[in-house]
Chains A and B, each alone.
Chain A
Amino acid sequence: MCRLFALTSKDPVSPMLAIKALDVMKEGHDGSGVGLLLQDLGEPFEEMKDAPILSGIFSEEGIRRLDLFMMDKGFLTKYKISLKPPKQGAKGIPKRDLYLIRAYELPEGWENLDPEELADRLLKIRLKIREMGEEKKDMIVFSFWPDTIMIKEIGDPMQLADYLGLDRKELHARVIMAQGRQNTNYAINLYACHPFFIKGYCTMTNGENTAFIPIKDFLSSRDIPGYSGYQSDSEVFAHILHYSMEELDLGIDAYKHVITPLQQQDLEAHPDHEFLSHLKKSCRPLIIDGPNCVIGTLPDHSMFMVQDRKKLRPGVVGGKPGLYGFSSEICGLDAVLPDRDKSKDIQPMHLDTAIVSPERQEVDICRQTQALNLPL
């Protein structure tokens, strides 16, 4: 089963911290892949918070096609990090031409777009590149979003970090999410690798989502751009998050009510009973039923953790003001934050959402039985 580790820090830190945690939790993942999300980036990206960054894997031919495509759209490269893999490959890691991390200047006139329109356009460009890449197998794109870098590859996390040289200053970030992957029920496909990202919302999960097909059917029939792909059981969690916050205008405190609604008795006793029973009924196809621990971030860089109702995958949140870690196993947290006050560690229960806001001063626990911040 996958191992998960996430960090949210006041100051930019190296992604190697998260990789180290994955390495400690090695027994639980089979090293069949790693996924990494970096956000709220440090130098040099500090100065270009609005510039969308394209992350992906490209062949020589793919790069040429990408350049033509982006130029045609009016995007100019502003900054790039070259992750050139060494000539002699590494065992278990596929040979690639280029890992691309490239920040772009927005095309003329785009600066004044309202944020929603801009977000839509960026998403559509990412989908277009993905589609073009799937056609010719020369481009794999993970994200195209300001202040966001995503790296995914097959192989053991530590080995991969060495191989790609992830221990470099340019990759330091304040929000880091990493997943060490356990082989899935499906064929290995890089798009199936966590974390999953859509318009600033990002999640990663362990466990198996047995309600995947009905949820996927629901989401993909909503006709919302970006609700596609679904190479993994858990890709839907990110989209449910996006759906409940953007489409339904709910807060993060309601996310858990969507994916794991209260049972009848508790529901009846809830102060927002009427609203929640409507939510439970209309969002019923989105109920997750696998034993899952979901860790995610929001566009404002809040980081959260929720468990499914059965809580068979207990995750843990701990740290100190300024730096908090979210881990699927305590040993991962111990490796990265050994000097924290362990008595303050929190293992969210089946009703809890643990949230660390962008101030990173404390862990908020939001219980499902508490009143909600309703959009009504």
Chain B
Amino acid sequence: MSSNTSLEPSALSLNDLPWQIEYNNDRCTLCGQCTAVCPVKAIELVTFQKRIIKTSVKPGAEQSNQYDQFYGIRQKTSVANACIGCAMCTLACPNDAIRPVKNPGLDRMKFHINQKGVPRRRGGRRNASGSVLDRIKFTRISMLTDPALDAGRHEFEMRTLLGRVLSPSENMKRLKTKGWIPPVREIYPLIIGGMSFGALSPTMWEGLQMGVAYLNEEMGMPVRVCTGEGGCPPRLLRSRFLKYVILQIASGYFGWDEIIHAIPHMKEDPCAIEIKYGQGAKPGDGGLLMWHKVNKLIAAIRGVPPGVSLPSPPTHQTQYSIEESVAKMILSMSMAWGFRVPVYPKISASSTSLAVLNNLTRNDYASGLAIDGEDGGTGAAYSVSMDHMGHPIASCIRDNYLNLTKIGMQNEVPIFAGGGIGKNGNIAANAAALIMLGASGVQIGKYVMQAAAGCVGTEEDRCNVCNLGICPKGITSQDPRLYRRLDPEDVAQRIVDLFVSFDTELKKIVAPLGRSTSLPIGMSDALGIDDKAIADRLSIKYVV
């Protein structure tokens, strides 16, 4: 800072930034890789000048005052270029000369990140690493009357149902009278939740679909993937792989035209239709696909002009109320496929989700309810929504399940849980806990990005530039230079690895509990937690 410039309020020092670059000049070869790869241009190659004074007390000795120039990396301190800690520079550096370090104190950037009057928007997570799900333990281990099963050798049937399941007596009645019986799919309980075409890069999307097809056709695991809002590539719609896909329609109706036009040409019915009313990360808020990512292809599939931001309304203006809309949309979507495809809404977890559920129980065409908790939903949103809004998933699922139990409809309207499953990497344990609390299955999104594509985002506000189209891993970018970094084959391979190992872990949890032939939905007697208040709230055991 030279003395003749004023200090602006937003003049930040390195110390004020959330991530700081640790740079070792001795090891740097000045190859320029780090600056080239940095997605936010946080670092630049600069010339440093150093004064070297050589003096001596000896009389007559030569005194010199030299200026030396050398080159090195400097971190920018402007808000727009603040380092996001993605560590791509580290990855690119041949000499391990550079790495980002998390500022251990409270960074000041929080106060300045609303430049030009626009509050911060980002992709990513809630950035709170605590998780009730991680604290739940499985406490009922069969021992005396019932030896634990062998997870490696027993046969297991870890399947769940998606669709409106009639009560046994009602089902029997309709079979006898040849009445209409709602469609029900038997699927794997771990679902890849909605991440839209447009939000994800083409290579990521392709990798996901390939992995899912492989799991179904080679591994015999009926894994399903949801498209998210924004439609679905026409070729997939007309392919036999559509049966592995849950098509999502959201309040913005993006991409819906494409789907409707493809209906007459569909060789297979989709697995289901998910109507998205809310996302856990930003309840009451719509989707936000920013203009950076709306290229020609995305625009074409979504049926919009390229280069414009595409915010979905929280609820579309054509929808008078959620009750009306749920009823209308579920019915019209069911009709579109001749009542052969399950249709269900996805809402963000909130204290009003019970109302939606109650509404669904009275609707024969409602095939389930997906509830997304506060830790979920990757798409772009305002930071304030992600950090401060939403409802934890555990108690929301529990309330809804117990409510269904009270009216004798448990599992008839299957509940799917999303939001923060595996946020700290414990995916099978988190999923099993939610299932035992009452979920029929779980949805994961961010975990898939992390495990299958190497997304570097963490609960420490690392990276999180998914919205800007500059994803350093090529997962959430529409820029070919970036998404070419991601090989779809590798993503597919990792998806398969992820599901197969999840399957092993799930068996390792349920086998000692003595369950193998049916998913332990609602087996809450197996759960315990070391917090009295949580235990009471979830109606599980308090164990210390």
Which of A's residues lie within 8 Å of B, judged by CB?
Answer: 1-2, 182, 184-185, 206-208, 210-214, 217-218, 221-223, 243, 247-249, 260, 263-264, 275, 278-279, 281-287, 289-291, 309-310, 312, 375-376
Instruction: Verify A208–B169 contact, CB threshold 8 A.
Output: no
1/0 per residue, CB under 8 A from A, across B161-180: the answer is: 10001111111100110000
Q: Let me know if B168 and A248 touch, CB within 8 A.
A: yes
Q: Which A residues lie within 8 Å of B157 (CB)?
A: 263-264
Q: Which residue of A lies closest to B174 (CB)?
A: A278
Q: A247 vs B407: C-alpha distance in the bound complex, in angstroms?
A: 18
State the Cβ distance, B153 to closest chain A Cβ, in Å: 11
User: Please, how many angstroms separate the alpha-carbon atoms of A1 and B144 in the complex?
Assistant: 7
Q: Looking at the assembled complex, report how far the CB atom of A231 sits from the nearest CB atom of chain B, in whole angstroms.
A: 14
Q: Which residues of A contact B520 (CB under 8 A)?
A: 210-211, 214, 289
Measured in the bound complex, the distance between the Cα atoms of B178 and A376 in whole Å is 10
* Contact flag A284-B165 (CB < 8 Å), given A213-B522, A217-B405, A289-B515: yes
Distance in angstroms between the alpha carbons of A312 and B153 in the assembled complex? 14
**Is B54 interfacial (CB-CB < 8 Å)?**
no
Chain B residues close to A by CB (< 8 Å): 140, 142, 144-147, 149, 154-155, 157, 159, 161, 165-172, 175-176, 181, 184, 186, 405-411, 513-518, 520-525
Q: Could you tell me the distance between the alpha carbons of A329 and B153 in the complex, rounded to whole angstroms? A: 25
Give every chain B residue within 8 A of A285 (Cβ-Cβ): 410-411, 521-522
Q: How far is the CA of A319 from the CA of B144 in the complex (A)?
A: 31
Residues of the B chain whose Cβ atoms lie less than 8 Å from the Cβ of A247: 168-169
**Residue among A222, A289, A375 making CB contact with B517, cutoff 8 Å:** A289
Chain A residues within 8 Å of B155, by CB:
263, 309
User: What are 9 pairs between A and B in contact, CB < 8 Å?
Assistant: A213-B522, A214-B521, A263-B517, A282-B170, A283-B168, A287-B518, A290-B142, A290-B146, A375-B172
Whether the Cβ atoms of B408 and A260 lie closer than 8 Å is no
Alpha-carbon gap, A39 to B518, bound state (A): 35
Distance in angstroms from B506 CB to nearest chain A CB is 14
B515 near A211 (CB under 8 angstroms)? Answer: yes
- Nearest CB to that of A218 among chain B residues? B410
By Cβ-Cβ distance, the 4 closest A-B pairs, closest first, are A221-B408, A210-B514, A208-B146, A287-B518
Contact A282 B513 (CB under 8 A): no
Contacts of B161 on A, CB cut-off 8 Å?
Answer: 281, 284
Q: Is A281 touching B149 in the complex (CB atoms < 8 A)?
A: no
* Contact among B142, B172, B176, B186 for A210, CB-based, below 8 A: B142
Contacts of A310 in B (CB 8 A): 149, 154, 516-517
User: Chain A's nearest CB lies how many Å from the CB of B287?
Assistant: 33
Determine if B406 and A221 form an interchain contact, defined as CB atoms under 8 angstroms apart: yes
Most chain-B CB neighbours within 10 Å: which of A281, A282, A285?
Answer: A282
- Cβ of A217 and Cβ of B410 under 8 Å apart? yes
B503 smallest CB distance to A (angstroms) = 16
Name the residue on A nearest B160 (C-beta). Answer: A284
Q: How far apart are the CA atoms of A213 and B527 in the complex, in Å?
A: 12
* Interchain CB contact (< 8 A) of B408 among A222, A263, A282: A222
**Known A208-B144, A310-B516; further 5 A-B contacts with Cβ < 8 A:** A218-B410, A223-B408, A263-B157, A284-B161, A284-B165
Alpha-carbon distance A243/B175, docked complex (angstroms) = 18
Complex alpha-carbon distance, A53 and B14, angstroms: 88
Q: How far is the CA of A8 from the CA of B240 in the complex (A)?
A: 56
- Determine how close the nearest CB of chain A comes to the CB of B174; give it in whole angstroms: 9
Complex Cα spacing A322 to B184, Å: 47
Provide the residues of chain B in CB contact with A217, threshold 8 Å: 405, 410, 522
List, in ascending order, chain A residues with CB within 8 A of B146's CB.
Answer: 1, 207-208, 210, 290-291
Asked if residues A221 and B525 are in contact (CB atoms below 8 Å), the reply is no
> B142, B516, B518 — which one has the most chain A CB atoms within 10 A of its CB?
B518
Are A376 and B171 within 8 A (Cβ)? no
Residue numbers in A under 8 Å from B142 (CB-CB): 208, 210, 290
Measured in the bound complex, the distance between the Cα atoms of B525 and A155 in whole Å is: 29
How near does chain A come to B172, taking the closest CB pair, in angstroms? 5
Please, how many angstroms separate the alpha-carbon atoms of A282 and B175 in the complex? 12
Nearest-neighbour CB distance to chain B for A256, whole angstroms, equals: 12
A275 touches B175 (CB 8 A): yes
Point out the residues of chain B lying under 8 angstroms from A275, CB to CB.
Answer: 175
Contact A213 B407 (CB under 8 A): no
List of B residues within 8 angstroms of A206 by Cβ: 145
- What's the Cα separation between A279 and B523 when bound, in Å? 21
A206-B145, A264-B186, A287-B517 as given contacts; A213 in contact with B523, CB under 8 Å? yes
User: Are B145 and A309 in contact, with the CB atoms below 8 A?
Assistant: no
Residues of A within 8 A of B513 (CB): 210
**CB <8 Å contact, B167 and A282:** yes
CA of A221 to CA of B144 in the docked complex: distance in angstroms?
Answer: 30
- Distance of A376 Cα from B171 Cα, bound (Å): 12
Return the chain B residue nearest A286 by Cβ. B168
